Structure 1
Amino acid sequence: MMRRYGMSQRFRLCSALWVPGLGGAIFLIRAGAPLTFAATNLVALALALGTILSEGVRCGPGARRVVSAALVALLALPLLTGQDVDGVARWLPLGPLALHSGMVAVPLLVVCAATDADVRWGAALLVAAMTCAAIQPDAATALALAFTAATLTVLSRSPAMALTAVLGIIAVAFALRSDGPPPQPFVEDVLPQLWATQPIAAILLGATLAWSAFILLTLEAPSRLPALASTAALAGFVAMSFLGAYPTPLIGYGAAPFIGFGLAFAGLTRFAARDAAGG
């Protein structure tokens, strides 16, 4: 029964990635982007789908805390490498690619925070990540974390998480002190620019992201709480892509969102299966 339940969840979660992923690839090709852009996204999408559908390792609570600490370290890594663009350090070099560190680390991080039995530990994780985002500066990551903390505050009614949500708003304000590098075509401002010339296409492309949110919001227990946290994080990234020069996840050019949300969606079912089994 648990096996069928887990596979059903995984197939649903796959659609939350391949629907916007394919929609984004079609947009990139039709908009005249280099074919390598669509190819990169599709390869990253395929890897993400394979991660979600594979059995993998079901991490227990202790291992989950180790993973979450490693994700915070990964988020901080651009600050330690000393490489920045116009005073901004929020990218992880991977050969010819530069991965947005927040979109790689934050999706799984918020799943770890939401599934931890100690709300205070989850709050501490989010505060550490917010601090990294504020220093980088990365308002998109800070807003994703703030939305997550606000969502978990409503669900847990924890004073520690409420304070974290307030700190998240402060982190967003601090991160907005820098404009950063200019917007990159096909990466940032995707929906606003498409709306200016092809509003119907913009609506259809935006609907693919709405589909992702719908899938997450309708997941069954025991994945529901981390799924709501994932929805909040995705909403934060998308919202900031309208407000500044930040990547549009899953539909704009970039492998990082597929890596990050692929790991997060895999974690949703594996953590839930492990917790439901009492391990």
Structure 2
Amino acid sequence: MSFTPGDAGLRRRLADLVCRALQAMLPPALQSWGWAIRCETSGIANDTTALLFAIHSLCGLIPQAIASHLSQPFASRIGDGDPFAGGSTAMNINDALTRRPRTIGIVCAIGAVILGLAYMAVAGAPGRYLGINAGALAIGLTMLALLGQIQTTGRQVIGAAIAAMAAALLATALLGARADGAARWVSLGGLAVQPSSILVPLMLVAFSRARSVLATAGIVAAAAAVALQPDRAMAGILSLGLAALAGTSRDRHVMVALAASVAAFGATMVRADTLIAVPYVDQILYSSFDLHAGAGLAIWIGLALLLIPAIIGWRRDADNRATYAVFGAVWFATIVAAALGNYPTPLVGYGGSAIIGYALSLVGLPRRCGAISETVRQARTEVAATLPDRHLRVGMA
């Protein structure tokens, strides 16, 4: 494989970006490691070797950095009794990691995309692939910021939004671009976009927060759409996400939606999936190790980052566990699908749809652990209003 000077320059810039990202996440006690790695990387003459060294260093220090941030409040209390003795910057980072699941989700998305860009640069992917992934991240985070400003999250509004997204999926199944008998894509300006990868994670997370007849109808329609496309991976993601929700909230809306998703998954299983693997998109969980051990490690760590918001939220925020369960199940199922078949590898592989989808699904997570959603608060108020006994109302409060 031959590389042009432009490719080499891109690898050098990515190596520096990885080093800067490592320095940004390291706590003060480990900053000397960050500077040493950056200096060592700059001293490596070969750009590809420099990028691989930076990736190795990032993968090796991420666990220590996270452990250091999480242990900072305990260390500071033991030290001199001042909970902020370790420095306000370190405490702010620690707070974002442990109490702000949406913030840590943004950090994880950025980290996963950076690792994916580094892998594709080493693998010799076309430069436009890297640009598309970086652009998709910017678009996704921008849309997340805009949606995050919306304060009204009533059940009817969420139900209508889910129904509208389901209609878009049905339109894709009936009118979308076809390849090998599958209609999963929409062509926008010459780019193939997969609406299900963008919309289904958001639909499931939204459904976990506000369930209604209209929202349930939207999920059932989405299940029918992925069966028609057909998209076995997305049908499995729907089923696993709703199964996780059923494990925490067994109401009739969830069970109806789960039954529809299981039926859709069964329909896709009886139809052959003839799509072939696409370079830099499918099967890279294994092929990356053929390139270099560091590249393979970067892919797996990038995928593990996707699950961190769900893990932290589940442990720290009991009020919203149903949402974290669905979020984690959706992205775990996406990773499993990429491992088992010729389906896109989310965020670390080429493809902007999953990047935008991950960013949008973060809007369903609370800004801060322990924050009760407006929908949940409204539901509790409605229940309390129907109780005739004043003492029971006090108990609910």
Matches for 1:59-98 after TM superposition, within 5 Å? 59-81=153-175, 83-98=177-192
**Structure 2 Cα separation of the partners of residues 82 and 206 of structure 1:** 32
Question: Cα gap change, 1:198/1:267 in structure 2, threshold over 3 Å: closer, same or farther?
Answer: same
Measured after TM superposition, the shift of residue 78 of structure 1 is 1.6
1:32 aligns to what? 124
Measured after TM superposition, the shift of residue 244 of structure 1 is 1.7
2:105 paired with 1:13: yes
Measured after TM superposition, the shift of residue 212 of structure 1 is 1.7
SS at match of 1:269: coil
Mean alpha-carbon deviation: is it higher for 189-198 or for 126-135? 189-198
**Structure 2 Cα separation of the partners of residues 22 and 226 of structure 1:** 26
Matches for 1:233-248 after TM superposition, within 5 Å? 233-248=330-345
Question: Cα gap change, 1:158/1:8 in structure 2, threshold over 3 Å: closer, same or farther?
Answer: closer
Larger Cα Rg: Structure 1 or Structure 2?
2
Question: Cα gap change, 1:165/1:82 in structure 2, threshold over 3 Å: closer, same or farther?
Answer: closer
Question: Cα gap change, 1:94/1:269 in structure 2, threshold over 3 Å: closer, same or farther?
Answer: farther
TM-score by length of 2: 0.63
Render the CA deviation track for 1:35-64: whole Å, top value 9, x for unaligned: 111111111112222333454213322211
Q: How many residues are matched? A: 274
1:52 aligns to what? 144
Kept in 1: contact 2:123–2:291 (CA 8 A): no
Kept in 1: contact 2:176–2:186 (CA 8 A): no
Kept in 1: contact 2:211–2:253 (CA 8 A): no
**Structure 2 Cα separation of the partners of residues 102 and 161 of structure 1:** 20
SS at match of 1:229: helix
**Structure 2 Cα separation of the partners of residues 51 and 101 of structure 1:** 15
Question: Cα gap change, 1:77/1:199 in structure 2, threshold over 3 Å: closer, same or farther?
Answer: farther
SS at match of 1:89: strand
Measured after TM superposition, the shift of residue 197 of structure 1 is 4.4
Measured after TM superposition, the shift of residue 149 of structure 1 is 1.3
**Structure 1 Cα separation of the partners of residues 257 and 101 of structure 2:** 30
Residue segments in structure 1 that go unaligned for 5+ positions in a row: none
Matches for 1:24-173 after TM superposition, within 5 Å? 24-54=116-146, 55-58=148-151, 59-81=153-175, 83-118=177-212, 123-158=216-251, 161-162=254-255, 164-173=257-266
**Structure 2 Cα separation of the partners of residues 172 and 22 of structure 1:** 33
2:368 paired with 1:274: no
SS at match of 1:184: coil
**Structure 1 Cα separation of the partners of residues 248 and 275 of structure 2:** 37
SS at match of 1:84: strand
Q: What's the RMSD between the two structures over aligned residues?
A: 2.7
2:47 aligns to what? none
Match among 251, 257, 260 for residue 348 of structure 2: 251
Measured after TM superposition, the shift of residue 121 of structure 1 is 5.5
1:198 aligns to what? 292
SS at match of 1:247: coil
- The AA in structure 2 aligned to 1:37 is Y
Residue segments in structure 2 that go unaligned for 5+ positions in a row: 1-94, 380-397
TM-score by length of 1: 0.87
Match among 245, 267, 270 for residue 174 of structure 1: 267
Q: Percent of pairs identical after alignment?
A: 27
Kept in 2: contact 1:33–1:186 (CA 8 A): yes
Render the CA deviation track for 1:122-155: whole Å, top value 9, x for unaligned: 5543332121111101011101101111101111
**Structure 1 Cα separation of the partners of residues 274 and 372 of structure 2:** 39
Which of 1 and 2 has higher RCO (CA within 8 Å, sep 6+)? Answer: 1
Measured after TM superposition, the shift of residue 167 of structure 1 is 4.3
**Structure 2 Cα separation of the partners of residues 259 and 134 of structure 1:** 23
